[in-house]
Amino acid sequence: MAVDRASTRLGQTSAWLIVALTCLIAWEVFSRYVLNTPHDWALDVQIQMYGTLFMLAGAYTLAKNGHVRGDVLYGFFEPRTQAWIDLILYGLFFMPGIVALTWAGWTFAQESIAIRESTFSATPLPLYPFKFMVPVAGFMLLLQGIVEIVRCVQCIRDGQWPSREEDVEEVDVEKLREMVKADDVTPTGGAR
């Protein structure tokens, strides 16, 4: 789906903030302790970059079904039962919460832009671009939530979860062991 692709692209693009954040922190540590020239604005930038990364990763994580859930009982249910549970929870909690987040985020962003809000450091930085990330992230989560509701309806109808776009795969120790075992066997079937 197009929303899945947009969420994935947004997540992958915002992930580069980790590299920028790491470079900024390393530079600031070097500047502070080696050059003895700390920058009062550096912490504000770090907080804003991390917050942006955290917010923009939400839709990506939802698209990849990566959010933490209590699977103690859920994993034992049939896919249709799981879909019904998810559908009810999306309707009762997720969608109202995300609509409220997006609405409030838009209001806060508008107010911040209107007063040209800035940080309180000695070298104040504009805060309104960061606050604008809240409604952007909320809107993307809202779109992705609609896609997840469609997935629930499809699962209820078909009895199995629809496939998702592949992206990155976590390292699984068991898969690595299987790969190592497969590499230890020669094409003729004998061990090396």
pLDDT at 192 over 60: no
pLDDT digits over 137-175, tens only? 999 999 999 999 999 999 999 999 888 877 666 666 677
Predicted local distance difference test score (pLDDT) of residue 189: 57
Which residue in 65, 71, 59 sits closest to 163, CA to CA?
65
Predicted local distance difference test score (pLDDT) of residue 148: 94
Q: CA-CA distance, 178 to 125, in Å (whole number)?
A: 52
Domain residue extents for the chain: 2-64+73-163
Q: CA-CA distance, 101 to 46, in Å (whole number)?
A: 23
pLDDT digits over 15-72, tens only? 899 999 999 999 999 999 999 999 989 999 999 999 999 999 999 988 888 777 777 7
Other CB atoms within a 10 A radius of the CB of residue 123 amount to 11
Question: 75: which DSSP letter?
Answer: T
